[in-house]
Amino acid sequence: MPKHTPLLRKRSGSKTAVRKKKTHLMLLFAKTFFISSLIFSTAVLGGAHVMRNYIVVPPPIPPVQDFVPEEPDDAPAFIVVEPNDDDLDIDNELAAPSGFADEDRRELFYTFLIMGLDEGINVDTIMVASYDGVTNTANIISIPRDVPVNVSRRHRKINVAYPAGLIHGGSPEAGVSQLKREVRSILGFAPDFYVKIDLDAFERIVDAVGGVYIDVPFHMRYDDPFQDLHIDIPAGPQRLDGEQALNFARFRLANRGFRAATDFDRVRHQQAVVQAVLQQLLTPASVLRIPEFISIFQDNVSTNISAQEMLWFASQLTQVSGIDALSTHTLPISHGSGPPSWYEFVDIPAALELVNNTANPFIRPITVNDVNIVLN
């Protein structure tokens, strides 16, 4: 027995050593995990603090008078026709209505011109958005393409403003400035910022946010073999990818036996897509990807919003109290002209009421004396 005692003690000591080693490893793991977590949390919180410090300063309010950018000597290569003089009405500057000054601007209130382009020059969508950084609310006013403006050119519809300015001014910036002027003649102010997006970019942005959920109001079916265009979107709630969302927003003509869409239907569909994209951006998973979305946005759109300003506006998405804080509207129309022009004339009292309740960036109301709207 004595000879075996040391062996038994040695085995007992070995088990104790193993237990001590396991305990030591567990404590080491816990300590390492705790320290790593602390470092990670500190880094995240510190990064968030730095990010907040970086984007905490809101963009400055642009001055009420903004001159047209210097025009280049050469027109873009894709312009292959000379415009008719009757189609031009280019002013020299952008200006607020008489009597408005910088001190009349509302605090943390920004306005945006959103342009959807088809084939690089045709304006398919015109929206004016506003964001109130004090109340954290946003509004979008859609302007029908067939609204006439008080200009001397033969084609007076507002969607002609961009190509007229682009061709005459020799640059996309001149086209944007001309459209801003004509928006100002209708709404009483020229938007501060602009966002110009083409069809391909629209698809990429929708795909980047994982598609959009839309309640399609009716079965959309249209086939045009000449354009290699085939649309078949059943009615009902569903997730649409970029291509489907684009077809939904642009749908107008329909196959025989299916319902076509009016221009006002198209406006509602475009507004639904914009709301759906913003709703996707407000999800927790998407908020974490905002820097990625900003990169995609910068690569696919033309805008005068800087990267730092984009970060600040993106940070405000989380301040918007749900999608209900984004309201969409259509510029009120009193009547249409019918053929051959098919103009849609603005209902001036209703339009002024809408603008003053939603998008007016000034502290005093815009009145009929501040606009230049075509009556008939």
Q: Is residue 322 part of a domain?
A: yes
Closest CA to 92 of 71, 121, 122: 71
Q: Is residue 1 part of a domain?
A: no
Q: Which residues contact 2 (CB under 8 A, 6 or more apart)?
A: none
Cis peptide before 63 (omega within 30 of 0): no
Q: What single letter denotes the amino acid at residue 321?
A: S
**What burial class does residue 225 get, using C-beta atoms within 10 Å of its C-beta: 0-12 exposed, 13-18 middle, 19+ buried?**
exposed
Q: Tokens at residue 271, please? A: 């507004």
DSSP 109-170: EEEEEEEEEETTTEEEEEEEEEEETTTTEEEEEE--TT-BBS-SSS--BGGGHHHHHHHHHS
CB contact at 8 A, 325 and 137: yes
d(CA 248, CA 202): 12
| pTM of this prediction exceeds 0.75 | no
The answer to whether the Cα torsion of 164, 169, 172, 178 is positive or negative is negative
Q: What's the pLDDT at 93?
A: 47
d(CA 353, CA 332): 10
The answer to whether the Cα torsion of 213, 286, 209, 127 is positive or negative is positive
The total of structural domains in the chain comes to 1
Q: Where are the alpha helices (DSSP H) in 209-262?
A: 242-250
d(CA 87, CA 155): 6
Q: What's the pLDDT at 79?
A: 32
Q: Is residue 283 part of a domain?
A: yes
Q: Is residue 34 part of a domain?
A: no
d(CA 355, CA 111): 12
Q: Please measure the distance between the N-terminal and C-terminal CA atoms of the chain and give it in whole angstroms.
A: 119
d(CA 145, CA 139): 19
Q: What's the pLDDT at 56?
A: 57
Q: Is residue 92 part of a domain?
A: yes
Q: Is residue 348 part of a domain?
A: yes
Beta-bridged to residue 39, according to DSSP, are none
Beta-bridged to residue 131, according to DSSP, are 110, 138
DSSP 8-class letter at 175: H
What are the average pLDDT values for consecutive 10-residue runs of the chain, which has 376 residues?
A: 43 48 47 39 38 62 58 36 42 62 91 86 89 90 93 88 89 91 93 88 86 95 90 96 92 93 88 84 74 77 87 76 70 92 94 97 94 89
Q: What single letter denotes the amino acid at residue 167?
A: I
Q: Is residue 292 part of a domain?
A: yes
Q: What single letter denotes the amino acid at residue 351?
A: A
State the CATH number of the domain containing residue 91. Answer: 3.40.630.190
Q: Is residue 50 part of a domain?
A: no
Domain extent, residue 354, equals 66-370
Q: What's the pLDDT at 324?
A: 56
